[in-house]
Amino acid sequence: MRKLIDLHLHLDGSVPFTTIKKLMNIHGLPTIDDQILRQKLSVGPDCRDLNEFLEKFAFPVHLMQTAADLQLIVFSLLKNLKKQGLVYVEIRFAPQLHTEQGLTQEEVVRAAIAGLNQFFNWQKDNPTDQPELHANLLLCLMRLKDNYEQNLETVETAKHFLDRGVSGLDLAGAETPAFSISNYASLFSLASRESIPFTIHAGEAMGPESIYQALDLGAKRIGHGIRCVEDKQLVADIIQNRITLECCATSNLNTKAFNQIDHYPVKKLLHQGVNVTLNTDDMTVSNIDLPHEYKLLEDKTGLTSSDEKQLYLNAVNAAFCSEQEKSRLLSLI
Protein backbone atom coordinates (compact mmCIF):
# COMPACT_ATOMS: atom_id res chain seq x y z
CA MET A 1 0.00 0.00 0.00
CA ARG A 2 1.40 3.41 -1.00
CA LYS A 3 1.92 6.05 1.67
CA LEU A 4 -0.19 9.15 1.10
CA ILE A 5 -0.55 12.71 2.40
CA ASP A 6 -3.64 14.91 2.02
CA LEU A 7 -3.17 18.61 2.77
CA HIS A 8 -6.57 19.74 1.47
CA LEU A 9 -9.51 17.85 2.94
CA HIS A 10 -12.73 19.46 4.19
CA LEU A 11 -14.36 17.81 7.18
CA ASP A 12 -17.94 18.71 6.23
CA GLY A 13 -17.39 17.54 2.64
CA SER A 14 -15.84 14.23 3.71
CA VAL A 15 -18.13 12.84 6.42
CA PRO A 16 -18.24 9.08 5.74
CA PHE A 17 -21.57 7.89 4.34
CA THR A 18 -22.00 5.33 7.13
CA THR A 19 -21.38 8.03 9.73
CA ILE A 20 -24.06 10.23 8.16
CA LYS A 21 -26.54 7.36 8.49
CA LYS A 22 -25.47 6.77 12.10
CA LEU A 23 -25.97 10.44 12.97
CA MET A 24 -29.36 10.50 11.30
CA ASN A 25 -30.38 7.58 13.52
CA ILE A 26 -28.95 9.25 16.64
CA HIS A 27 -30.93 12.41 15.94
CA GLY A 28 -34.13 10.59 15.02
CA LEU A 29 -34.24 11.80 11.43
CA PRO A 30 -36.42 9.93 8.92
CA THR A 31 -34.72 7.11 7.06
CA ILE A 32 -33.76 8.00 3.49
CA ASP A 33 -33.12 5.55 0.67
CA ASP A 34 -29.36 5.19 0.18
CA GLN A 35 -29.49 6.36 -3.42
CA ILE A 36 -31.44 9.49 -2.51
CA LEU A 37 -29.15 10.17 0.45
CA ARG A 38 -26.09 9.91 -1.77
CA GLN A 39 -27.68 12.44 -4.12
CA LYS A 40 -28.04 14.82 -1.17
CA LEU A 41 -24.37 14.40 -0.29
CA SER A 42 -22.57 14.02 -3.62
CA VAL A 43 -22.47 15.75 -7.00
CA GLY A 44 -22.87 13.98 -10.30
CA PRO A 45 -20.99 14.46 -13.57
CA ASP A 46 -23.51 17.14 -14.57
CA CYS A 47 -22.55 19.46 -11.68
CA ARG A 48 -22.76 23.00 -13.09
CA ASP A 49 -20.25 24.95 -11.01
CA LEU A 50 -18.75 25.66 -7.58
CA ASN A 51 -22.01 27.05 -6.24
CA GLU A 52 -23.88 23.80 -6.95
CA PHE A 53 -20.94 21.89 -5.48
CA LEU A 54 -21.18 23.92 -2.24
CA GLU A 55 -24.89 23.10 -1.90
CA LYS A 56 -23.93 19.53 -0.94
CA PHE A 57 -22.47 20.77 2.35
CA ALA A 58 -25.81 21.85 3.84
CA PHE A 59 -27.05 18.45 5.02
CA PRO A 60 -23.84 17.23 6.69
CA VAL A 61 -23.32 20.62 8.38
CA HIS A 62 -26.79 20.23 9.89
CA LEU A 63 -25.51 17.03 11.53
CA MET A 64 -22.37 18.72 12.89
CA GLN A 65 -23.78 20.92 15.64
CA THR A 66 -22.91 19.09 18.87
CA ALA A 67 -19.59 18.17 20.44
CA ALA A 68 -20.44 14.48 20.28
CA ASP A 69 -21.28 14.71 16.57
CA LEU A 70 -18.04 16.47 15.73
CA GLN A 71 -15.91 14.06 17.75
CA LEU A 72 -17.56 11.05 16.10
CA ILE A 73 -17.09 12.48 12.61
CA VAL A 74 -13.40 13.27 13.08
CA PHE A 75 -12.77 9.85 14.62
CA SER A 76 -14.61 7.91 11.89
CA LEU A 77 -13.02 9.95 9.09
CA LEU A 78 -9.53 9.25 10.40
CA LYS A 79 -10.25 5.53 10.62
CA ASN A 80 -11.26 5.62 6.95
CA LEU A 81 -8.15 7.54 5.97
CA LYS A 82 -5.96 5.07 7.82
CA LYS A 83 -7.40 2.25 5.68
CA GLN A 84 -6.50 4.19 2.53
CA GLY A 85 -2.82 4.36 3.45
CA LEU A 86 -2.60 7.96 4.60
CA VAL A 87 0.27 8.80 6.93
CA TYR A 88 -0.51 12.51 7.41
CA VAL A 89 -3.59 14.66 6.86
CA GLU A 90 -4.70 18.22 7.52
CA ILE A 91 -8.44 18.38 8.06
CA ARG A 92 -10.01 21.80 7.56
CA PHE A 93 -13.36 23.15 8.71
CA ALA A 94 -14.99 26.44 9.74
CA PRO A 95 -15.85 26.49 13.47
CA GLN A 96 -18.37 29.30 12.92
CA LEU A 97 -20.57 26.93 10.88
CA HIS A 98 -21.04 24.58 13.85
CA THR A 99 -22.45 26.96 16.48
CA GLU A 100 -26.16 26.77 15.57
CA GLN A 101 -27.04 24.85 18.76
CA GLY A 102 -25.03 26.99 21.14
CA LEU A 103 -21.47 25.73 20.89
CA THR A 104 -18.77 28.38 20.91
CA GLN A 105 -16.01 28.19 18.31
CA GLU A 106 -13.63 27.11 21.06
CA GLU A 107 -15.98 24.27 22.06
CA VAL A 108 -16.28 23.21 18.41
CA VAL A 109 -12.50 22.97 18.09
CA ARG A 110 -12.17 21.14 21.41
CA ALA A 111 -14.65 18.54 20.12
CA ALA A 112 -12.67 18.06 16.90
CA ILE A 113 -9.45 17.70 18.89
CA ALA A 114 -11.20 15.11 21.07
CA GLY A 115 -11.88 13.19 17.86
CA LEU A 116 -8.20 13.38 16.94
CA ASN A 117 -7.15 12.10 20.36
CA GLN A 118 -9.75 9.33 20.29
CA PHE A 119 -8.31 8.15 16.98
CA PHE A 120 -4.70 8.37 18.19
CA ASN A 121 -5.59 6.22 21.21
CA TRP A 122 -7.50 3.76 19.02
CA GLN A 123 -4.52 3.57 16.66
CA LYS A 124 -2.15 2.72 19.52
CA ASP A 125 -4.54 0.01 20.73
CA ASN A 126 -4.91 -1.45 17.23
CA PRO A 127 -1.37 -1.58 15.77
CA THR A 128 -0.82 -2.68 12.17
CA ASP A 129 2.13 -3.08 9.83
CA GLN A 130 1.22 0.27 8.26
CA PRO A 131 2.82 3.50 9.49
CA GLU A 132 0.80 5.60 11.91
CA LEU A 133 -1.53 8.28 10.57
CA HIS A 134 -0.89 11.70 12.11
CA ALA A 135 -3.31 14.60 11.71
CA ASN A 136 -3.74 18.32 12.31
CA LEU A 137 -6.67 20.71 11.97
CA LEU A 138 -6.90 23.85 9.86
CA LEU A 139 -9.56 26.40 10.83
CA CYS A 140 -11.35 28.11 7.95
CA LEU A 141 -12.32 31.74 7.80
CA MET A 142 -15.43 32.06 5.63
CA ARG A 143 -16.37 34.28 2.72
CA LEU A 144 -19.79 35.25 4.05
CA LYS A 145 -21.72 38.48 4.47
CA ASP A 146 -21.22 40.47 7.69
CA ASN A 147 -19.13 37.83 9.50
CA TYR A 148 -15.97 39.78 10.32
CA GLU A 149 -16.38 39.16 14.07
CA GLN A 150 -16.83 35.42 13.54
CA ASN A 151 -13.73 35.31 11.33
CA LEU A 152 -11.77 37.28 13.92
CA GLU A 153 -12.88 34.77 16.56
CA THR A 154 -11.61 31.96 14.32
CA VAL A 155 -8.17 33.57 14.15
CA GLU A 156 -8.12 33.93 17.95
CA THR A 157 -9.25 30.33 18.35
CA ALA A 158 -6.50 29.12 16.05
CA LYS A 159 -3.98 31.07 18.11
CA HIS A 160 -5.30 29.45 21.31
CA PHE A 161 -4.99 25.89 19.96
CA LEU A 162 -1.92 26.35 17.77
CA ASP A 163 0.36 23.31 18.00
CA ARG A 164 -2.25 21.61 20.21
CA GLY A 165 -4.25 20.01 17.40
CA VAL A 166 -4.57 23.11 15.20
CA SER A 167 -1.74 23.95 12.83
CA GLY A 168 -3.08 26.73 10.61
CA LEU A 169 -5.83 28.75 8.95
CA ASP A 170 -7.62 28.83 5.61
CA LEU A 171 -10.05 31.08 3.75
CA ALA A 172 -12.92 29.14 2.17
CA GLY A 173 -16.34 29.73 0.63
CA ALA A 174 -17.74 30.92 -2.68
CA GLU A 175 -15.14 32.69 -4.83
CA THR A 176 -16.91 35.79 -6.15
CA PRO A 177 -15.91 39.47 -6.62
CA ALA A 178 -18.08 40.37 -3.63
CA PHE A 179 -15.78 38.28 -1.42
CA SER A 180 -12.45 39.37 -2.85
CA ILE A 181 -9.48 37.92 -0.98
CA SER A 182 -8.16 41.42 -0.38
CA ASN A 183 -11.20 42.03 1.87
CA TYR A 184 -9.58 39.72 4.43
CA ALA A 185 -6.17 41.40 4.53
CA SER A 186 -6.47 42.59 8.15
CA LEU A 187 -7.31 39.07 9.37
CA PHE A 188 -4.34 37.47 7.64
CA SER A 189 -2.11 40.30 8.79
CA LEU A 190 -3.12 39.37 12.33
CA ALA A 191 -2.44 35.70 11.60
CA SER A 192 1.04 36.60 10.34
CA ARG A 193 1.79 38.64 13.47
CA GLU A 194 0.73 35.67 15.59
CA SER A 195 2.88 33.29 13.49
CA ILE A 196 -0.15 31.23 12.44
CA PRO A 197 0.51 29.49 9.08
CA PHE A 198 -2.24 29.83 6.49
CA THR A 199 -3.41 28.73 3.09
CA ILE A 200 -6.06 30.48 0.98
CA HIS A 201 -8.54 29.11 -1.55
CA ALA A 202 -7.83 30.84 -4.85
CA GLY A 203 -7.59 30.14 -8.56
CA GLU A 204 -10.58 27.82 -8.65
CA ALA A 205 -13.83 29.61 -9.51
CA MET A 206 -11.91 32.86 -9.99
CA GLY A 207 -8.80 33.18 -12.12
CA PRO A 208 -5.16 34.15 -11.68
CA GLU A 209 -5.98 37.53 -10.13
CA SER A 210 -7.32 35.77 -7.03
CA ILE A 211 -4.01 33.91 -6.68
CA TYR A 212 -2.09 37.17 -6.91
CA GLN A 213 -4.28 38.55 -4.09
CA ALA A 214 -3.57 35.50 -1.92
CA LEU A 215 0.16 35.85 -2.49
CA ASP A 216 -0.04 39.56 -1.62
CA LEU A 217 -1.49 38.53 1.76
CA GLY A 218 1.48 36.26 2.39
CA ALA A 219 0.04 32.84 1.59
CA LYS A 220 2.71 30.18 1.05
CA ARG A 221 0.11 27.61 0.03
CA ILE A 222 -2.83 28.04 -2.34
CA GLY A 223 -5.96 25.93 -2.10
CA HIS A 224 -6.44 24.63 -5.65
CA GLY A 225 -4.62 27.38 -7.60
CA ILE A 226 -4.97 25.32 -10.74
CA ARG A 227 -5.90 28.32 -12.89
CA CYS A 228 -2.36 29.66 -12.52
CA VAL A 229 -1.79 27.93 -15.87
CA GLU A 230 -3.64 30.84 -17.49
CA ASP A 231 -0.80 33.24 -16.59
CA LYS A 232 2.82 32.34 -17.42
CA GLN A 233 4.22 35.11 -15.23
CA LEU A 234 2.18 33.84 -12.29
CA VAL A 235 3.56 30.33 -12.76
CA ALA A 236 7.07 31.80 -12.79
CA ASP A 237 6.35 33.74 -9.59
CA ILE A 238 4.97 30.61 -7.91
CA ILE A 239 8.12 28.70 -8.80
CA GLN A 240 10.46 31.51 -7.71
CA ASN A 241 8.71 31.99 -4.37
CA ARG A 242 8.28 28.25 -3.73
CA ILE A 243 4.52 28.48 -3.35
CA THR A 244 2.71 25.16 -2.93
CA LEU A 245 -0.48 24.38 -4.84
CA GLU A 246 -3.02 22.06 -3.19
CA CYS A 247 -4.44 20.48 -6.36
CA CYS A 248 -7.69 18.49 -6.26
CA ALA A 249 -8.34 16.88 -9.64
CA THR A 250 -11.86 15.43 -9.46
CA SER A 251 -13.12 18.39 -7.43
CA ASN A 252 -11.82 20.78 -10.10
CA LEU A 253 -13.71 18.79 -12.73
CA ASN A 254 -16.87 18.88 -10.60
CA THR A 255 -16.72 22.66 -10.21
CA LYS A 256 -15.74 23.23 -13.84
CA ALA A 257 -12.48 24.90 -12.86
CA PHE A 258 -11.02 22.44 -15.37
CA ASN A 259 -12.86 20.61 -18.13
CA GLN A 260 -10.87 17.52 -19.13
CA ILE A 261 -8.96 15.20 -16.84
CA ASP A 262 -6.66 14.17 -19.71
CA HIS A 263 -5.30 17.73 -19.70
CA TYR A 264 -5.24 18.20 -15.93
CA PRO A 265 -1.85 19.93 -15.49
CA VAL A 266 -0.43 18.42 -12.29
CA LYS A 267 2.24 16.47 -14.16
CA LYS A 268 3.08 19.45 -16.41
CA LEU A 269 3.37 21.85 -13.47
CA LEU A 270 5.41 19.32 -11.51
CA HIS A 271 7.92 19.01 -14.34
CA GLN A 272 8.11 22.82 -14.61
CA GLY A 273 9.23 22.93 -10.99
CA VAL A 274 5.99 23.99 -9.32
CA ASN A 275 5.48 22.61 -5.80
CA VAL A 276 2.21 20.85 -6.56
CA THR A 277 0.49 18.35 -4.28
CA LEU A 278 -2.46 16.03 -4.94
CA ASN A 279 -5.41 16.05 -2.55
CA THR A 280 -9.09 15.11 -2.37
CA ASP A 281 -10.86 18.32 -1.24
CA ASP A 282 -14.20 16.65 -0.41
CA MET A 283 -14.28 12.87 -0.46
CA THR A 284 -18.02 12.49 0.05
CA VAL A 285 -19.13 15.38 -2.16
CA SER A 286 -16.97 14.11 -5.03
CA ASN A 287 -17.43 10.42 -4.08
CA ILE A 288 -13.67 9.72 -4.19
CA ASP A 289 -10.65 8.99 -2.03
CA LEU A 290 -6.95 9.78 -2.46
CA PRO A 291 -5.94 6.38 -3.93
CA HIS A 292 -8.64 7.01 -6.57
CA GLU A 293 -7.12 10.39 -7.44
CA TYR A 294 -3.65 8.93 -7.93
CA LYS A 295 -5.01 6.10 -10.09
CA LEU A 296 -7.03 8.61 -12.14
CA LEU A 297 -3.98 10.71 -12.96
CA GLU A 298 -1.87 7.62 -13.61
CA ASP A 299 -4.41 6.39 -16.16
CA LYS A 300 -5.30 9.73 -17.75
CA THR A 301 -2.13 11.83 -17.57
CA GLY A 302 0.69 9.29 -17.28
CA LEU A 303 1.64 10.18 -13.71
CA THR A 304 4.64 8.01 -12.78
CA SER A 305 5.97 6.61 -9.52
CA SER A 306 8.76 9.20 -9.69
CA ASP A 307 6.13 11.95 -10.06
CA GLU A 308 4.24 10.54 -7.09
CA LYS A 309 7.35 10.54 -4.94
CA GLN A 310 7.85 14.22 -5.76
CA LEU A 311 4.22 14.97 -4.90
CA TYR A 312 4.79 13.30 -1.54
CA LEU A 313 7.99 15.28 -0.91
CA ASN A 314 6.23 18.52 -1.87
CA ALA A 315 3.49 17.73 0.63
CA VAL A 316 5.99 17.03 3.41
CA ASN A 317 7.81 20.29 2.79
CA ALA A 318 4.57 22.30 2.72
CA ALA A 319 2.81 20.63 5.66
CA PHE A 320 1.91 22.80 8.63
CA CYS A 321 3.53 20.45 11.11
CA SER A 322 6.61 20.17 13.31
CA GLU A 323 10.09 19.45 12.00
CA GLN A 324 9.94 16.21 13.97
CA GLU A 325 6.83 15.17 12.03
CA LYS A 326 8.44 16.15 8.73
CA SER A 327 11.41 13.93 9.60
CA ARG A 328 9.06 11.04 10.35
CA LEU A 329 7.26 11.50 7.03
CA LEU A 330 10.55 11.67 5.10
CA SER A 331 11.76 8.50 6.81
CA LEU A 332 8.75 6.63 5.43
CA ILE A 333 10.08 6.87 1.87
Active-site residue numbers?
Answer: 204
Instruction: Name 131's Cβ contacts closer than 8 Å, sequence gap at least 6.
Output: 3, 87, 332
Contact 243, 216 (CB under 8 A): no
> Do the Cβ atoms of 29 and 20 come closer than 8 Å?
no
Tell me how far CA of residue 254 lies from CA of 11, 120, 263, 302, in angstroms. 18, 33, 15, 21
Other beta carbons within 10 angstroms of residue 3's beta carbon come to 16
- Sheet bearing 134-142, strands edge to edge: 4-10, 86-93, 134-142, 166-172
Q: Distance (Å, rounded) from C-alpha 137 to C-alpha 92?
A: 6
